[in-house]
Amino acid sequence: MAQGKRTSTDIAPRALETIRDMGAAARQARLAAGEGQAAAAARLGVHVQTIGRIESGEPGVAVGHVLGLLALYGITLDVPRPQPGAQASGLD
């Protein structure tokens, strides 16, 4: 793959579903907090379009921005740590 933004064809379907789920969770939490995208963008220090891209599940958004938005609204992820000698399960 050439350098640049990733597209949905470059990512396994299960991973895309996870990205979309995180975006939907961020949007739901933002709305529950009564904030607009502009307020979220200002708090996170990104452009308002970045918030829209995260919430729509676009795969090319920096992971730090995604996790930052989730953290703004108290959403945490429980990522299991791999055990020594265990094979990675992958998301394909």
Per-residue model confidence as pLDDT tens digits over 27-54: 999 999 999 999 999 999 999 999 999 9
What pLDDT is attached to residue 79? 85
Q: Which amino acid is at 53?
A: R
If one counts the domains in the chain, the total is 1
Classify residue 83: in a domain, yes or no: no
Q: What is the CATH number of the domain that holds 41?
A: 1.10.260.40
Q: Is the pTM of this model over 0.85?
A: no
Report how far apart, in Å, the C-alpha atoms of 24 and of each of 3, 36, 65 are: 27, 14, 15
Classify residue 27: in a domain, yes or no: yes
